[in-house]
Structure 1
Amino acid sequence: MDPIRNPYAPGAGQRPPELAGRDGELTAFDVVLERVARGRPERSLVLTGLRGVGKTVLLGALRSAAVRRGWGTGKLEARPDTSLRRQLSAAIHLAVRELGSTGAGQAEADHVLGVLKGFALRDAGPSSKLRDRWQPGIDVPAVTGRADSGDIEIDLVELLTDVGGLAADRGRGVAIFIDEMQDVGPDDVSALCAAAHEISQQGLPLIVVGAGLPHLPAVLSASKSYSERLFRYARIDRLDRAAADVALRSPARDEDADWDDAALDAMYEATAGYPYFVQAYGKVAWDVAPRSPITADDVRVAAPEAEAELAVGFFGSRFERATPGEREYLRAMADVEDAGADGVVTTAAVADHLGRKPQSLSPARDALIKKGLVYSAERGRIAFTVPHFGRYLRAHG
């Protein structure tokens, strides 16, 4: 079949041609936007799930929904060991610009931008070297005495209160989207929770929408005990069979092609409904199929090439980030994984498999958590953040 017309898109964070199986989350977010617009109390939102389930894609779709409503939006991707202040400043700057301002409202907007500039310039601090100082690109003077104390919690509460007030005066809202939220540092997480709590109490039209790995709720709870009531958590999982079929069939039919039922059976067996795998296998199966409809034989021919591409780009690139000691830990997890429920294994089982004491393996486990390769499902238990990672490690020795 014509590769130029291939509709499938196995890219990191790239929106697939058919966003199947996410109607519930999109509808619920529309309700949130409407409630906030009407001054009703509403919680911020956190999406959690393994890698490859489409959290980043869904985050982008939610942002698009906010933009269509005329909201100001900003998005950032958190990074480990990096202060949130600079990234958040850029995201909020974009959101304020999207709110717009003309005439009498310009002075108020300029004041908020001045507060934002003062907040942003605290990133470097007065003792930083000149070459390290950062300018946020805000063309108004910095306002002093507001959101510039240097205490991120105090500053963020003041800043978001001002931004939320500006949005309320405009009769609109602001949404800040944070991807990889589990990588936000402890102090910054605490500040985010405190700020979200304050704006919720004041009824301001500003929400935070985060996305991260399954242990993100535990990260937030460790920061502020009230975080469980502050956010609405949505677990993003693999697609069920019906949604996976739609993700394959709808784009194909837009190109006057189709899949037969046996091919769809084979695809679900191979991908288990994980959205990234659906796109990866779908792309290769389209290219190898001589004609429509795509058959189960086409899927079988495509499988080795799809698996080879995943081994390099999806699994292998992550495995290469681990040190030899960390790789030993990962392989041990894979070896005992079958005994765990839903891919979760006990740290004691890993240690027993390696003939080591659990305490001696703590540095490797903690380093793997920081690298986002595993997560702690609960005390004494560990799991891969990447679906089918254990199967990949067992297949590749």
Structure 2
Amino acid sequence: MDPVRNPYAPGAGQRPPELAGRDAELLAFDVVLERVARGRSERSIVLTGLRGVGKTVLLNALRSAAVRAGWGTGKLEARPDQSLRRPLAAALHVAIRELGAGHPGAEHVLGVLRSFAQKDVPGAKLRERWQPGIEVAAVPGRADSGDIEIDLVELFGDVAGLAGDAGRGIAIFLDEMQDVAPEDVSALCAACHELSQNGLPLVVVGAGLPHLPAVLSASKSYSERLFRYARIDRLDRAAADRALQSPARDEGAEFTPDGLAAMYEITAGYPYFIQAYGKAVWDIAPGSPITAADVRVAAPEAEAELAVGFFGSRFERATPAEREYLHGMAAAACAVQTSAEAPTEPESVPTAAVADFLGRKPQSLSPARDALLKKGLIYSGTRGQIAFTVPHFGRYLRAQHIE
């Protein structure tokens, strides 16, 4: 097959040629946009799932829907140990500009936004030199108390008020939401609560790992009622087939039924794997239709690529002690793995099982486990249970015979 015409697109956050299996989420967000446009209150949204299921792709698709609806939008990615003030201010700045900076009241709101952002800059002289890209003077006494919760409630209220006056809405898209600092999570929840209570036209759409709801709940007890949660998971068989067939047909090619079955078995329906294996199979297959035999021939090349770029890059971030813990998790996962139509990693394994395999006391493994949690390589959705954030990571570790 001609590699120049290869339609598949594996990449971090890169939109696939066919966004299959996400129609329900897109439709639900269209309802949110329409309800807010009619002055009705709506909850902010949180998307959760493992890495490689397409959360960032969906986040971008939802932002595109908001732009088409005439909303002001901004996007940011949370990072561990980084304050939310400046990146959130930059995202809101973009959103206000999309609304139209010339709208009455915009200059005042931009001044409040500048005050909010500058509060994160230490020292008066440094604040004077720092340029946040906002060309209006800071408005003192508003969203600049230094208490992030008070300031964010005031800022969101002012920005939402501007959007309401313009007859439109504001949507902020926050990726890697589980990495927001605890103090900032609390402030974000409080601000969203205020928006919901007052029916203001500003929504936050967050995306993060499966334990994100627990992070939010630990911050504010009412968070389970504050957000609309959507679990983004692997595709079912019909959606996975569509993700493969539709791009192929656009290029005049087909998959045989056994080829589609082989692809689903090897990818387990995970969107990133569908793109990675699809790209490898296309390049290796001699012609159309693509068969199960083509999939078997191409699989080693796809796996070698994943081993370096998807799995290996994450494994390299771990220290020797952390790698030992990952090895123990992979072995424990293998012991409890159950059969399924499309085999996948079990949801979680007991931390005690990991300790037993390694012949260690659970307390002695806590530093390695905590470090892996902070690095986003594993997560704990339930007390005493642990799981990989990356699908098939245990299979990769076992295949490498890591000691």
- TM-score normalised by length of structure 1: 0.97
**Distance (whole Å) between structure 1 residues aligned to residue 365 and residue 128 of structure 2:** 38
Matching residue of 1:279: 275
- Contact 1:337/1:343, CA 8 A, preserved across alignment: no
- The yes-or-no answer on 1:361 pairing with 2:358 is no
SS at match of 1:207: strand
Note the 1:1-397 alignment, pairs <5 A: 1-102=1-102, 105-106=103-104, 108-126=105-123, 130=126, 134-340=130-336, 342-397=346-401
Deviates more, 1:334-343 or 1:202-211: 334-343
| Counterparts in 2 of 1:133 and 1:185: CA distance versus 1, 3 Å | farther
SS at match of 2:381: strand
**Distance (whole Å) between structure 1 residues aligned to residue 285 and residue 251 of structure 2:** 14
Deviation per CA, 1:374-393, whole angstroms, max 9, x where unpaired?
A: 00021000000000000000
Shift of residue 340 of structure 1?
Answer: 4.0
Structure 1 residue runs of 5 or longer lacking an equivalent are: none
CA RMSD of aligned residues (A): 1.3
Deviation per CA, 1:119-152, whole angstroms, max 9, x where unpaired?
A: 010111227x849964211010000000011111
SS at match of 2:380: strand
Shift of residue 199 of structure 1?
Answer: 1.1
- Contact 1:70/1:172, CA 8 A, preserved across alignment: yes
SS at match of 1:96: helix
Query: Structure 1: which 4+ aligned runs deviate by more than 2 Å?
Result: 129-134, 338-343
**Distance (whole Å) between structure 2 residues aligned to residue 184 and residue 218 of structure 1:** 13
Shift of residue 295 of structure 1?
Answer: 1.1
**Distance (whole Å) between structure 2 residues aligned to residue 71 and residue 175 of structure 1:** 7
Deviation per CA, 1:102-122, whole angstroms, max 9, x where unpaired?
A: 4xx34x000000000010101
- Contact 1:124/1:133, CA 8 A, preserved across alignment: no
- Contact 2:121/2:127, CA 8 A, preserved across alignment: no
Aligned residues between the structures: 393
- TM-score normalised by length of structure 2: 0.96
**Distance (whole Å) between structure 1 residues aligned to residue 116 and residue 126 of structure 2:** 18
Shift of residue 93 of structure 1?
Answer: 0.2
Deviation per CA, 1:143-167, whole angstroms, max 9, x where unpaired?
A: 0000011111111000000000000
**Distance (whole Å) between structure 2 residues aligned to residue 304 and residue 274 of structure 1:** 18
Shift of residue 97 of structure 1?
Answer: 0.4
- Matched residue type, 2:364: S
- Contact 2:333/2:349, CA 8 A, preserved across alignment: yes
Aligned residues: percent identity?
Answer: 79
Structure 2 residue runs of 5 or longer lacking an equivalent are: 338-345
